[in-house]
Amino acid sequence: MRYHRFEKNLPFTDAEFERRLALVRAAMDRAGIEVLFVTDPSNMAWITGYDGWSFYVHQGVLVFHDADPVWWGRNQDANGAVRTVWMGDDRVIGYADNYVQSTERHPMDDLAQRLIGMGLGTTRLGVEMENYYFSARAYMALHDALPGAKLIDATALVNWQRGIKSDEELVYMRKAAAISEKIVDGLMERVEPGVPKNEVVAEIQRDAIMGIDDDWGDYASIVPLLPSGSDAAAPHLTWDGRPFQKGEATFFEISGCYRRYHAPFCRTIFLGEPPDIFRSAEAALVEGLEAGLDAARAGNRARDIAEALAAPLERAGIERGARCGYPIGLSYPPDWGERTISLRAEDETILEPGMTFHFMPGLWMSDWGLEITESILITENGAAECFCDRPRKMYVKP
């Protein structure tokens, strides 16, 4: 019986958390890992339910083969952990505040002492070497403080387990997709020549967080991106206060978010009469998207989607250098991708039912850009299912 001081509002059933833990433990076993230290906040949340904007300080979840996970982090955030994780309160450990951004001591020293105290000073410890929240210094500090342990690179070990979504997760992604649709509908209404971009973003953010009825909106892991005209060559510029202009295309990359689950969606709005270059790019892109959706079938490979997309684009003389998609689901800033599969020619991963991707063939040319994308679900049979249901085209407001 687990002791909980606070009533919990867990996002998933016990069975779902047990499913996840079993997957992680099996992957640890295959990798020869006795204890896994998970620092990716998305992985932490997926395994334990932990939710809070505390990832700007060092924290993590320890996964064991034979005991419940332990949440470890800053003392003040342990208060958030006992309120959000499924484990008992005794599985939550806080470290003293003077470890935070100290020039004298590192939080990994505390973690190492905890592990040694548990008799795990010589364990085979998995760490996520490629993660925003496990710095080079953190690795060095942990390495030095645990001289008897063997540190094993467990980058993306948990991320790979997240690839196939459960029915419970798909419910959340559909709610996120409904919010994405609401945002795009609002854009079509509001974007007009002369309207400052930040005003449109203000309404996007309001729509996103209001959500739909009882399905309240969470913060997306990336802010809205909406470069216009020549700036649309650059996919990751954010907004400013300049007005939308007639004769320019703006693409909007947005995502609704429901309890940390995302369904990214991009559409482009052209104000005025699009020149031929846009019309022909649109035609080739839509043809490529439809070919890619048809190739996005269980049993095919990730690269098949990329190659199906590329053919009509090449016929139109458009060469994309970039991958055309990535897996999506639960995420925290700064990225809403899962950082495992990439939809590109060199990725041979076999597609399986329940995998979800942002099929994202953005065109970023030297002085213009066009984005029409779909968040998709690989199904048991047949082509991929799109989470959002909006016209697959460049929107034009004459």
- Cβ nearer to a copy of itself, comparing 13 with 101: 101
Instruction: Tell me the closest approach of the beta carbon of residue 236 to a copy of itself, in angstroms.
Output: 4
Phi, psi of 179 (to 5 degrees): -70, -40
Residues 214-253 that bind a copy of itself (CB under 8 A): 214-219, 222-223, 225, 230-231, 233-241
Count of other CB atoms within 10 angstroms of residue 98: 9
Helix, strand or coil, per DSSP, at residue 106: coil
Report DSSP state, residue 91: G
Among 43, 123, 131, 356, indicate the residue that binds a copy of itself (CB under 8 A). Answer: 131
300 part of the interface to a copy of itself, by CB under 8 A? no
Instruction: Tell me the closest approach of the beta carbon of residue 43 to a copy of itself, in angstroms.
Output: 14
Residues 137-196 that bind a copy of itself (CB under 8 A): 137-140, 153, 155, 196
Instruction: Tell me the closest approach of the beta carbon of residue 203 to a copy of itself, in angstroms.
Output: 7
Phi, psi of 314 (to 5 degrees): -60, -40
- Cβ nearer to a copy of itself, comparing 129 with 298: 129
Question: Which stretch, 30-38, 116-124, 134-142, 292-300, contacts a copy of itself (CB under 8 A)?
Answer: 134-142
Q: Give the pairing type, strands 92-95 and 60-64.
A: unpaired
Residues ≥6 apart with Cβ < 8 Å to 222: 253, 255, 264, 333, 334, 335, 336
Instruction: Tell me the closest approach of the beta carbon of residue 66 to a copy of itself, in angstroms.
Output: 27
Residues 72-101 that bind a copy of itself (CB under 8 A): 75-77, 79-80, 83-84, 96-98, 100-101
Report d(CA 85, CA 11) in Å as an integer. Answer: 10
102 part of the interface to a copy of itself, by CB under 8 A? yes
Nearest to 228 by CA among 264, 184, 274, 197: 197
- Cβ nearer to a copy of itself, comparing 276 with 319: 319
Query: Pattern 324-353, binding to a copy of itself, x per CB under 8 A?
Result: --x------xxx-x-x--x-x-x-------
Among 68, 203, 290, 385, indicate the residue that binds a copy of itself (CB under 8 A). Answer: 203
Burial of 100 (0-12, 13-18, 19+ CB in 10 A): middle
- Cβ nearer to a copy of itself, comparing 70 with 386: 70
43 part of the interface to a copy of itself, by CB under 8 A? no
- Cβ nearer to a copy of itself, comparing 21 with 127: 127
Burial of 6 (0-12, 13-18, 19+ CB in 10 A): exposed
Among 12, 46, 55, 265, indicate the residue that binds a copy of itself (CB under 8 A). Answer: 55
Report DSSP state, residue 368: -
Among 69, 126, 211, 329, indicate the residue that binds a copy of itself (CB under 8 A). Answer: 211
- Cβ nearer to a copy of itself, comparing 78 with 386: 78
137-153 core/surface letters (b: 16 or more CB in 10 A; e: else): ebbebbeebbeebebbe
Instruction: Tell me the closest approach of the beta carbon of residue 81 to a copy of itself, in angstroms.
Output: 8
52 part of the interface to a copy of itself, by CB under 8 A? yes
Phi, psi of 332 (to 5 degrees): -120, 160
45 part of the interface to a copy of itself, by CB under 8 A? no
- In this structure, what token pair is assigned to residue 341? 């599969």
Instruction: Tell me the closest approach of the beta carbon of residue 340 to a copy of itself, in angstroms.
Output: 8
Question: Which stretch, 21-29, 49-57, 268-276, 373-381, contacts a copy of itself (CB under 8 A)?
Answer: 49-57
The residue whose two tokens read 């909406």 is 226
Question: Which stretch, 180-188, 274-282, 320-328, 381-389, contacts a copy of itself (CB under 8 A)?
Answer: 320-328
Q: Vertex 6, ends 5 and 12: CA angle to 5°?
A: 120
Nearest to 351 by CA among 360, 361, 341: 341
Report d(CA 388, CA 358) in Å as an integer. Answer: 11
Among 34, 51, 181, 374, indicate the residue that binds a copy of itself (CB under 8 A). Answer: 51
Report d(CA 282, CA 344) in Å as an integer. Answer: 21
Instruction: Tell me the closest approach of the beta carbon of residue 379 to a copy of itself, in angstroms.
Output: 25
